[in-house]
């Protein structure tokens, strides 16, 4: 679910997991340029393991480093599946936009039209907040993750969480701003978007994601697992560090994230999904334009957010003069970054530690994706008179 404050970022294109223990050597398939990326992610202050993948017209690079399992020392498999956290939001938004293209959802209609009585409050938020504002994080609704501690989830990681239950945790708290007058990342928005998909289609959001996205694109590593706590196929263990020690949180009921962050995928599938999305294979031209119509987030990165996709500038990266599109994703045990350029390159980075990695790993993750996708940053210009 879950970018931001509690669970950390997730991105496709590169996957990395790192532990503070010594890492095994990086392995790569034509991925010499990615080796430094994954080795930094699994360094002394990093995660147990990490993986990265870049796809483009010039071919493919894949690299992995560190371990998938700190108990057995098994190496990280670059073909691993993992929890993708908030990168799920892009899949959810794509389904909502498909329904908009079919005339079944109107982006500027109030949430109340589709979920009567669900978004309550003294200001009748459900009558004021639109579907578009949910997808763009301009609703002002509080983020459920500000009011649900990861420690509470860790106490009973296999319990089921209903989307309505999670929304009800968030809604009693003050609104961040008047709808449409600010920007604030909130997982509550996408829990509601998933509920709208269910109400409009009569099927759980995951069934619609599978029918409309996963099957048509042949994403064989991608799943919406509902309550299933395991990760099918080859996968690393996922870890958190609530204190000084690592805790294995691989088995987790993903209903705690739902349409905001509950999916499983791989670097290969995330790259394929973003490529198809930006090339117009999933959305009609009008809906793709809506998705890519952004507003500034106000973050120091200079990012702007569309409908389930974020744009980031890369002015210090000669390989990405026009920036790139993607999404972060954090879920207990995993941190992901995924992104693509409009000229046909995609990258994903993943680490199997979240949260608890510390500032050094956070900094490495922030640099990993643009380095993999766009190349190293341009050296700073020398100071005048230097």
Question: What pLDDT does residue 123 have?
Answer: 61
Binned at pLDDT 50, 70 and 90, residue 149 comes out as confident
Q: How far is CA 106 from CA 89, 103, 109, in A?
A: 18, 7, 5
Binned at pLDDT 50, 70 and 90, residue 151 comes out as confident
Question: What pLDDT does residue 6 have?
Answer: 32
342 vs 23: which has the higher pLDDT:
342
Q: Is the pLDDT at 48 greater than 50, yes or no?
A: yes
Contact 154, 242 (CB under 8 A): yes
| Residues contacting residue 222 through CB under 8 Å, at least 6 positions apart | 214, 263, 264, 265, 266, 269, 273
pLDDT tens track for 121-147: 656 577 899 999 999 999 999 999 999
Q: Taking the CB of residue 379, how many other CB atoms lie within 10 A of it?
A: 7
Question: What pLDDT does residue 382 have?
Answer: 65
Question: What pLDDT does residue 150 have?
Answer: 84
pLDDT tens track for 18-43: 333 333 445 544 445 899 999 999 98
Average pLDDT over residues 274-281: 98
Domain segments of the chain as ranges: 14-374
6 vs 295: which has the higher pLDDT:
295
Average pLDDT over residues 247-273: 98
Question: What pLDDT does residue 120 have?
Answer: 80
Q: Is the pLDDT at 12 greater than 90, yes or no?
A: no
Share of the chain above pLDDT 90, in %: 83
CATH of 14-374, one of 3.40.710.10, 3.90.1150.10, 3.40.1440.10, 3.30.930.10: 3.40.710.10
pLDDT tens track for 188-247: 999 999 999 999 999 999 999 999 999 999 999 999 999 999 999 999 999 999 888 999
What are 106's two structure tokens?
Answer: 């109107």
Question: What pLDDT does residue 109 have?
Answer: 97
Question: What pLDDT does residue 15 have?
Answer: 36
Q: Taking the CB of residue 33, how many other CB atoms lie within 10 A of it?
A: 16
Question: What pLDDT does residue 8 have?
Answer: 31
Among 12, 86, 265, 266, the one annotated catalytic: 86
22 is catalytic: no
Average pLDDT over residues 257-262: 98
Binned at pLDDT 50, 70 and 90, residue 381 comes out as low
pLDDT tens track for 67-89: 999 999 999 999 999 999 999 99
Share of the chain above pLDDT 70, in %: 89
174-201 burial string, b = 16+ CB within 10 Å, else e?
ebbeebbeebbbbbbbbbbbbbbbbebb
| 301 class by beta-carbon count within 10 Å (0-12 exposed, 13-18 middle, 19+ buried) | exposed
Q: Look at 119-128, 138-147, 343-352, 369-378 and tell me which has the smallest mean pLDDT.
A: 119-128
């Amino acid at each position: 679910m879950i970018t931001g404050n509690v669970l950390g970022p997730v991105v496709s294109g590169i996957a990395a997991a790192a532990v503070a223990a010594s890492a095994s050597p990086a392995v790569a398939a034509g991925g010499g340029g990615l080796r430094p990326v994954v080795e930094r992610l699994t360094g002394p202050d990093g995660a147990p393991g990490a993986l990265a993948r870049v796809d483009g017209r010039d071919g493919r690079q894949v690299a992995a480093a560190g371990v998938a399992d700190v108990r057995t020392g098994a190496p990280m498999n670059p073909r691993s599946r993992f929890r993708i956290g908030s990168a799920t939001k892009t899949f959810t938004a794509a389904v909502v936009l498909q329904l908009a293209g079919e005339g079944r959802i109107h982006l500027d209609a109030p949430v109340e039209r589709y979920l009567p009585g669900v978004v309550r409050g003294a200001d009748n938020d459900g009558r004021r907040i639109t579907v578009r504002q949910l997808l763009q994080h301009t609703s002002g609704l509080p983020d459920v993750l500000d009011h649900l501690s990861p420690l509470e989830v860790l106490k009973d990681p296999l319990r089921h969480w209903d989307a309505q239950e999670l929304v009800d945790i968030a809604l009693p708290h003050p609104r961040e701003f008047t709808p449409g007058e600010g920007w604030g990342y909130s997982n509550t928005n996408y829990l509601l978007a998933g509920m709208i998909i269910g109400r409009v289609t009569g099927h759980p959001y995951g069934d619609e994601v599978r029918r409309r996205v996963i099957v048509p694109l042949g994403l064989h590593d991608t799943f919406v697992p509902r309550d299933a706590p395991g990760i099918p196929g080859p996968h690393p263990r996922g870890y958190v560090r609530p204190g000084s020690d690592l805790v294995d949180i691989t088995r987790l009921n993903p209903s705690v994230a739902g349409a905001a962050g509950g999916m499983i995928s791989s670097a290969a599938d995330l790259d394929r999904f973003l490529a198809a999305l930006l090339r117009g294979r999933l959305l009609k031209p009008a809906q793709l334009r809506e998705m890519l119509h952004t507003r500034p987030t106000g973050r120091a990165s200079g990012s702007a957010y569309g409908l389930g996709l974020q744009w980031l500038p890369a002015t210090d990266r000669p390989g990405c003069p026009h920036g790139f599109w993607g999404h972060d994703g954090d879920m207990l045990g995993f941190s992901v970054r995924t992104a693509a350029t409009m000229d046909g390159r995609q990258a994903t980075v993943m680490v199997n530690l979240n949260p608890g990695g510390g500032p050094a790993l956070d900094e490495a993750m922030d640099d990993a994706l643009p380095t993999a996708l766009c190349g190293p940053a341009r050296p700073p210009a020398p100071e005048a008179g230097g």
